[in-house]
Structure 1
Amino acid sequence: MIQDAGEFDFIIVGAGSAGCVLAARLTESGSYRVLLVEAGPEDRHFWIHVPLGYANVFADRRINWMLESEAEGELQGRSMYQPRGKVLGGTSSINGMIYIRGNHADYDGWRDAGCEGWGWEDVKPYFERAEGPTGLRVQPHTKKHELAEAVLRAAQNAGLPYTHDFNGERQEGVGYYRYNIFKGRRWSASSAYLRPARARPNLKVVTEAHVLRLSMRDSQVTGIVYERDGQTFEVRAKAEVIVAAGVFGSPQLLEHSGIGNPSVLKEQGIEPVLELAAVGENLQDHFYTQLMFKCSQPITINDLANSWPRKMFEGARYLLTRTGKLAFNHIYVGGFTHSREGLSKPDIQFNMTAWSVAERTASGAKPHPFPGFSLSPVHINPDARGAVHVTSADPRGRPSIRFNFLKTNYDIQSMIFGVRLVRRIAAQPGLQPYIADEIQPGRAIASDADIVSFLREKAVSNLHAVGSCRMGPDCATSVVDSQLRVHGVRGLRVVDGSIMPRIICGNTHAATVMIAEKASDMILVAAR
């Protein structure tokens, strides 16, 4: 039996990076009643809020969907682990907290592909609003680390210019990152947007509620049906339903509601309601690998992780002062560059992290028993396109996720360049005193063929998946229009990273927040 759960002006599905922004902005005026529905629990888990605690939430089923991709043919049949936040704040509650807007050319490319109003000058004000007093806290790097300083100098000696701020006028170069960390705590979308908004009487938040499907009448979405505590509820929307369930959850919900490619739906026993072939297609992600080095000095996070006295000391220091090793993510410096001449924007990123990993298990990563650090090349403008689709008619079923990495020569050659770039940086005289040995892949892996074999064995998704509900003007190749309205149906938008027509050059959290900031204005204008 389905119980009536009332009526709201707006219903938001998913309290992740986008959903928290929407809930805050749509309730600011007090004119509209908003329901925010989240499948996960409240964000009270201790390790969510500790910046170095993301190692502990990376594999916690209580707050993490812990998805897996299908076996990747070009990667020796390996599947790619896909952690996604199942908690207030979504993946912003479990990510690495790096804040990158992306390259200006990314958004001009969206505009030029037919997404009117999404060029750099159009989206810039929304980044600025997101970084303002009512949005995210964006903190520059404040403390020096001798290993990070050595990497910074080595990268400059290897030919990369110094960049003060990757979010400024020039992205290319090497420099320190900026972070969503404030006063020693993770500053998630829930911390920044949702927590202040929950005092408003016109916002209702329902957690641990799994949305089963959209309610539809003719070509109008009228509400949602969700399950909580073994009971089923239906709630109505006077104005709109906004799906903000993320790159995997949003296409899943559309497909379970009969919106998608009819052949995909029928194969899983779902009756098609609206033909929209692009649902679940255009899946993109960055692709990366770790080059790991044994450090000659005990100055890495491995040394903390392998010492109980140090862990107890740092734990006490954090609890008392919100400072110390636990108050930072230890992803210090990085850089952006081109793998070849003639590209309009960087296509290679690299990150320096103050740890190295001996093995990964279902419960997390185990560090090497000695000091170690990593330099990781990332291909941030890949050709690879995949898909995410439902695997049954059960709304609680896991989706099929396929990325199709390393299928084109450009993708392969770009990653070879990235590996060689990192090695060129590591070979600089200023960094060599910190390197006792190259652990992974090892100096014996030297030829292009050897590097490609290493990539097929070890390289993975960089966990920045986007694009599965693509924005565009053509309903044959996209899911939403430039107002983020789903083609062919009224009263329904998708607002999250899934609408990106092409992945941006850099970490995707900041851009997802920007999308929701911009969408909130669109929604309020339409409502008025």
Structure 2
Amino acid sequence: MDSFVEFDYVIIGGGSAGALLANRLSADPSRSVLLVEAGGPDDYPWIHIPVGYLYCIDNPRTDWRFRTEAEAGLNGRSLLYPRGKVLGGCSSINGMLYMRGQARDYDGWAALAGEPDWSWAGVLPDFKRHENHHRLRGRRAPEPVSRSVPSQPMDPTQRLPSIDEDVGTWHGGDGEWRVEKQRLRWDILDAFAQAAQQAGVPATDDFNRGSNEGVGYFEVNQKNGWRWNASKAFLRPILKHRRNLTLWTRTHASRLVLEPGGAGALRCKGAWLVRGGDRVQVRARREVILSAGAIGTPQLLQLSGIGPGGLLQRHGIGVLRDAPGVGSNLQDHLQVRAVFKVDNVKTLNTMAGSLWGKALIGLEYAWRRTGPMSMAPSQLCAITRSDPGRPHPNIQFHVQPLSLPAFGQPLHRFAAITASVCNLNPTSRGTVAIRSADPGAAPLIAPNYLSTDEDRKVAADSLRVARRIVAQPAMARYGPTEYLPGAEHQGDDALAQVAGDIATTIFHPVGTARMGRADDPGAVVDPQLRVIGVAGLRVVDASVMPRITSGNTNSPTLMVAEKAARWILAER
């Protein structure tokens, strides 16, 4: 059955970006907003327990369960490629780590797009607008020492300003996005942090002031030991009383409704959806906004006739706009997992090695909301250079007091830590492409990991940095022994080869509908995220990032949505 409904704004994708957009655009009661999510509501209990990501990833209830193609750089391996298929999107299944990236990331975006508002000075207010940071919560934010937005990041070696100084320059306290300290610590992680300092990495307790070089515990998106996702932050507080906001879950977008718009251009009038077995055409009086993510957005554009002409023709789809950039420029952070056995110290391997140990872990969380069940997937962060000649920090460690053969498998039976390290600025580029004209078919995802000499060199050097840190005096008391990749692997070629065997995605795909100047042949959207050559259509998610940020990508995606919401509302 076909039916027809109309709204002012139609947002496709109820993840991090879509949830924030729905909140901001529906604040005006005179405008109607439809938010469409392919997955169900975020009522699965494991979503909200931090360690529950183990039960949400590769679960059809919460994950699209994509896989990559076999990757030459990974020695022929194919990887699980999780993407949130539930209200809240990836914020409902991710690592909950709050990381903005580096100031130079955004200054680079501004230069590429020709839009100063994407610079560090331009994005910092958007980060702060929705932030609810623990340093400011419950207290009036102090006036910053300088009333102008800082154009340069703070030196991470300097002392962090106290709550009574200028922390308000860098953080917000009145927004919806909770940022808290973790509710645990580990002796072995404290020792790793000390060892990193002995190896030349400065200590920091704030990775989000523009320069994130340093070592310290991650801040997390949690509230009192529970996961804090985009649904809790931006949707639950408003759904009951904003009658102009409509939410449809378990609703799939199959293609966009595109019509001639004059002067050879197109206009997006709406989208075809499948809801409860019925086909529904929704029309947008103002705009259709794609927030389906770095995989879903290019897939929907290609299914609708916007994409590389040859690809569309091969699948029998009429080419409405030949846009080679749709689905290209895929970037991701690939983590290389180094594992070290340790002695005479508590790790999760030993704590959870028995039924009694697991019971104690469960009781601690039930009673205090602390302990291993409150853990993010990674607890300690270290950001440094893969070699001293690098002009800026370019690798990030996610350090965990545990080890396992692969994600989803049981923990090792020996005490160990994992020091996963990723190249923050990979030069490899991949693609996302439809396999057929069937909207239900998973797209072809080819990240093309470790396909450049530079990325292979950084992978090899990163393992050397891990070895150098673990060899420092602070770790000596625990007798660390390299388990993966193994001390027998030496030299650039050998280390790059073994990196392909032990590396896995850290779940940060971006860039597949990148922004750029209107005359840039690879750009999909203009600097204000409007699809080039198509009126009434905008992309607001991680796919618009021209280059991946130097850190975890969820909070930068929220910043993109915050900025886009201001632009959309200003155009009314």
What interval of TM-score do these two structures reach, taking the shorter chain for normalisation? Answer: over 0.9
2:515 to 465, 468, 471: 471
Residue 259 of structure 2 is aligned to residue 217 of structure 1: yes
Aligned to 2:61: 62
Distance 1:124 1:436 in 2: 40
Task: State the identity as a percent.
Answer: 43
Displacement after TM superposition at 1:229 (Å) = 2.0
SS of residue paired to 2:440: coil
Q: How does 1:314-325 map to 2 (within 5 A)?
A: 314-325=361-372
Displacement after TM superposition at 1:315 (Å) = 2.2
SS of residue paired to 1:367: coil
Distance 2:228 2:21 in 1: 17
Aligned to 1:203: 245
Aligned to 1:286: 333
Q: How does 1:483-494 map to 2 (within 5 A)?
A: 483-494=528-539
2:570 to 505, 525, 528: 525
SS of residue paired to 1:281: coil
In the alignment, is the contact (CA less than 8 A) between 1:115 and 1:471 conserved in 2?
no
Displacement after TM superposition at 1:142 (Å) = 5.1
Distance 1:54 1:11 in 2: 29
Distance 2:194 2:478 in 1: 13
Displacement after TM superposition at 1:143 (Å) = 3.8
In the alignment, is the contact (CA less than 8 A) between 1:103 and 1:345 conserved in 2?
no
Aligned to 2:20: 21
2:542 to 493, 497, 514: 497
Aligned to 1:130: 130
Displacement after TM superposition at 1:56 (Å) = 1.6
Displacement after TM superposition at 1:425 (Å) = 0.6
Q: Against the structure 1 CA distance between its residues 56 and 499, is the aligned structure 2 distance closer, same or farther, given a 3 Å change threshold?
A: same
Distance 2:102 2:417 in 1: 27
In the alignment, is the contact (CA less than 8 A) between 2:113 and 2:526 conserved in 1?
no
1:171 to 203, 208, 212: 212
Q: Against the structure 1 CA distance between its residues 180 and 401, is the aligned structure 2 distance closer, same or farther, given a 3 Å change threshold?
A: same
SS of residue paired to 1:283: coil
Distance 2:477 2:494 in 1: 27
Give the number of aligned pairs: 523
Displacement after TM superposition at 1:76 (Å) = 1.4
- Deviation larger for 225-234 or 10-19: 225-234
Displacement after TM superposition at 1:367 (Å) = 1.1
Residue 393 of structure 2 is aligned to residue 352 of structure 1: no
In the alignment, is the contact (CA less than 8 A) between 2:104 and 2:120 conserved in 1?
yes
- Deviation larger for 472-481 or 307-316: 307-316
Displacement after TM superposition at 1:436 (Å) = 4.8
- Give the residue type in structure 1 aligned to 2:365: Y
Q: How does 1:174-185 map to 2 (within 5 A)?
A: 174-185=215-226
Q: For each residue in 1:249-286, what CA deviation from the matched residue of structure 2 results, as whole angstroms up to 9, or x when unmatched?
A: 00000011111111110111211112211100110011
SS of residue paired to 2:285: strand
Residue 430 of structure 2 is aligned to residue 386 of structure 1: yes
In the alignment, is the contact (CA less than 8 A) between 2:15 and 2:291 conserved in 1?
yes
SS of residue paired to 2:318: coil
Q: Against the structure 1 CA distance between its residues 342 and 488, is the aligned structure 2 distance closer, same or farther, given a 3 Å change threshold?
A: farther
In the alignment, is the contact (CA less than 8 A) between 1:34 and 1:203 conserved in 2?
yes
Displacement after TM superposition at 1:304 (Å) = 3.8
Aligned to 1:187: 228
Displacement after TM superposition at 1:330 (Å) = 5.6
SS of residue paired to 2:289: strand
Displacement after TM superposition at 1:331 (Å) = 2.0
Distance 1:380 1:329 in 2: 20
Aligned to 2:495: 451
Aligned to 2:277: 230
Aligned to 1:421: 465
In the alignment, is the contact (CA less than 8 A) between 1:105 and 1:344 conserved in 2?
no
- Give the residue type in structure 1 aligned to 2:451: K
- Deviation larger for 243-252 or 161-170: 161-170
Displacement after TM superposition at 1:312 (Å) = 2.4
- Give the residue type in structure 2 aligned to 1:51: P
Distance 1:333 1:318 in 2: 20
2:421 to 377, 380, 396: 377
TM-score normalised to structure 1 length = 0.96
Distance 2:56 2:547 in 1: 29
- Give the residue type in structure 1 aligned to 2:131: E
SS of residue paired to 2:379: strand
In the alignment, is the contact (CA less than 8 A) between 1:260 and 1:275 conserved in 2?
yes
Distance 1:182 1:312 in 2: 23
Distance 1:33 1:383 in 2: 42
Aligned to 1:41: 40
In the alignment, is the contact (CA less than 8 A) between 2:13 and 2:35 conserved in 1?
yes
SS of residue paired to 1:23: helix
- Give the residue type in structure 1 aligned to 2:92: S
Distance 2:372 2:555 in 1: 24
SS of residue paired to 1:292: strand
Displacement after TM superposition at 1:475 (Å) = 4.8
Q: For each residue in 1:430-466, what CA deviation from the matched residue of structure 2 results, as whole angstroms up to 9, or x when unmatched?
A: 1122245321112222333321221122212221110
Distance 1:323 1:171 in 2: 27
Displacement after TM superposition at 1:349 (Å) = 1.0
Gaps of 5+ in 2: 133-173, 261-265
Aligned to 1:246: 293
Aligned to 1:511: 556
Aligned to 1:73: 72
- Deviation larger for 446-455 or 472-481: 446-455
Q: How does 1:267-282 map to 2 (within 5 A)?
A: 267-282=314-329
- Give the residue type in structure 2 aligned to 1:263: G
SS of residue paired to 1:214: strand
SS of residue paired to 1:431: helix
Aligned to 1:120: 120
Q: Against the structure 1 CA distance between its residues 269 and 169, is the aligned structure 2 distance closer, same or farther, given a 3 Å change threshold?
A: closer
Q: Against the structure 1 CA distance between its residues 406 and 513, is the aligned structure 2 distance closer, same or farther, given a 3 Å change threshold?
A: same
In the alignment, is the contact (CA less than 8 A) between 2:345 and 2:478 conserved in 1?
no
Q: Against the structure 1 CA distance between its residues 128 and 499, is the aligned structure 2 distance closer, same or farther, given a 3 Å change threshold?
A: same
SS of residue paired to 1:7: strand
Displacement after TM superposition at 1:421 (Å) = 0.4
Displacement after TM superposition at 1:62 (Å) = 1.3
Distance 2:96 2:354 in 1: 25
- Give the residue type in structure 1 aligned to 2:561: A
Distance 1:276 1:105 in 2: 28
Aligned to 1:409: 453
Q: Against the structure 1 CA distance between its residues 135 and 345, is the aligned structure 2 distance closer, same or farther, given a 3 Å change threshold?
A: farther
Q: For each residue in 1:196-221, what CA deviation from the matched residue of structure 2 results, as whole angstroms up to 9, or x when unmatched?
A: 12121111110011111111221111
Displacement after TM superposition at 1:113 (Å) = 1.2
Aligned to 1:89: 88
Distance 2:225 2:250 in 1: 28
SS of residue paired to 1:291: strand
Distance 2:479 2:31 in 1: 58
SS of residue paired to 2:360: helix
Distance 1:402 1:64 in 2: 19
